């Protein structure tokens, strides 16, 4: 690396001042820092999710719950329903827990260490909120930053082992001033220029310093270990209908889709197939199957339709009007299953 670490930070910030993305949760360079609530909410939503997918959810949440106090006071089932379709539902459960802790305290902690104490805030999210919302120097490393740094320094150790070296290098180039702008500049650079495929090196403000570019194969970095194949699981969802209503249940525990409204099912998990056994006696009719991919497994969910005269015994749930099913906040998997059942009735 021929240039100093300070030069890298300065050149990147100069590029960011001209090319920063205008995003609803962000303050543009030179403007006052954004509300910590908006920074935190966006960072939670953006975990493993694209900006395009997050924008409408962010707008919906901030319109419905403009402040952290509003979110903290909201019923959990309403927040979970509003999150439906965004995926990775453990984020929503932690969102509720964190909102209530911050609501009780009256404000977000302003330090990285204090933020780490909040439910659901790991190393990355705490650093991002500390830097962007509070101007603290923090080393912010997400997937985009990971890619930029691994290429800048041609770190050829495979992930996840390379993360220690990547973090050390990211720390070395993070300036003391404008740490929030620097973090967002790295994110923008990784998202729009130093992309995972076909990086546009000619437009990169750091191309003169990039060791991976000198190799002629920048897209080779970061080096990734071979992924293990995901297992295939099977399960069954049951459409239980009575007098223009369908029976919905709230998934319990801390597992897949916990806390979300859903059709009753046969107990499938990411680690095991379902039993295929229905929760009530009925003349069950097959409606087909839907397929969905989770982080840890592929699932084929068969859908069966049955008419009943009363609520299932010994099960907690509620009858939901068919005409209002779109307001139930079903996660994507069960929304697809419901669509299939409605078409097959």
Q: Spell out where 186-324 has E strands.
A: 232-242, 245-250, 261-262, 285-293, 298-307, 318-321
Residue with tokens 């076909």: 198
Q: Which of 43, 112, 146, 249 is catalytic?
A: 43
| Nearest CA-CA partner of 175 in 291, 8, 54, 312 | 8
The alpha carbon of residue 252 and the mean position of all alpha carbons in its chain are separated, in whole angstroms, by 21
Contact (CB, 8 A) for 138 and 127: yes
* Helices and strands in the chain, H and E counts: 13, 6
The alpha carbon of residue 322 and the mean position of all alpha carbons in its chain are separated, in whole angstroms, by 30
Residue with tokens 């240039």: 3
Residue 234, SS3 per DSSP = strand
Q: Which residues pair with 293 in a beta bridge?
A: 298
Residue 21, SS3 per DSSP = coil
Residue with tokens 């190799």: 215
* 219 among known catalytic residues: no
* Two tokens, residue 138: 């923090």
Q: How far apart are CA 86 and CA 63, in angstroms?
A: 17
User: What DSSP assignment string belongs to 152-203?
Assistant: HTT--SPBTTTHHHHHHHHHHH--SSSHHHHHHHHHHHHHHTS-SSS--GGG
Contact (CB, 8 A) for 203 and 15: no
Give catalytic residues, as residue numbers: 43
């Amino acid at each position: 690396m021929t240039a100093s670490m300070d030069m890298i930070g300065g050149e990147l910030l100069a590029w960011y001042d001209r090319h920063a993305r205008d995003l609803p949760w962000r303050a543009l360079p030179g403007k006052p820092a954004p509300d910590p609530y908006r920074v935190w909410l966006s960072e939670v939503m953006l975990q493993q999710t694209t900006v395009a997918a997050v924008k409408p959810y962010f707008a919906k949440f901030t319109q419905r719950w403009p402040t952290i106090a509003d979110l903290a006071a909201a019923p959990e089932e309403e927040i979970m329903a509003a999150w439906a379709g965004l995926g990775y539902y453990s984020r929503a459960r932690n969102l509720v827990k964190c909102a209530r802790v911050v609501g009780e305290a009256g404000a977000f902690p302003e330090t990285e260490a204090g933020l780490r104490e909040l439910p659901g805030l790991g190393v990355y999210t705490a650093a991002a909120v500390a830097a962007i919302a509070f101007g603290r120097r923090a080393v912010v490393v997400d997937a985009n930053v990971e890619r930029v740094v691994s290429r800048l320094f041609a770190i050829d150790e495979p992930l996840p082992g390379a993360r220690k070296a990547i973090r050390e290098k990211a720390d070395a180039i993070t300036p003391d001033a404008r740490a929030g702008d620097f973090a967002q500049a790295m994110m923008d650079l990784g998202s729009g220029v130093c992309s995972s495929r076909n990086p546009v090196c000619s437009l990169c403000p750091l191309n003169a310093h990039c060791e991976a570019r000198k190799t002629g194969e920048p897209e080779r970095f970061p080096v990734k270990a071979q992924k293990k194949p995901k297992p295939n699981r099977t399960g069954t969802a049951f459409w239980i209908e009575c007098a223009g209503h369908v029976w919905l249940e709230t998934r319990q525990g801390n597992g897949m889709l916990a806390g979300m409204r859903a059709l009753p099912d046969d107990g499938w998990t990411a680690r095991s197939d379902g039993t295929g056994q229905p929760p009530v006696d009925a003349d069950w009719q097959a409606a087909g199957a839907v397929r969905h991919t989770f982080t840890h497994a592929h699932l084929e969910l068969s859908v069966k339709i049955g008419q009943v005269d009363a609520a299932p015994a010994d099960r907690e749930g509620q009858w939901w009007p068919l005409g209002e099913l779109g307001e139930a906040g079903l996660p994507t998997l069960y929304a697809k299953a419901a669509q299939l059942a409605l078409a097959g009735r």
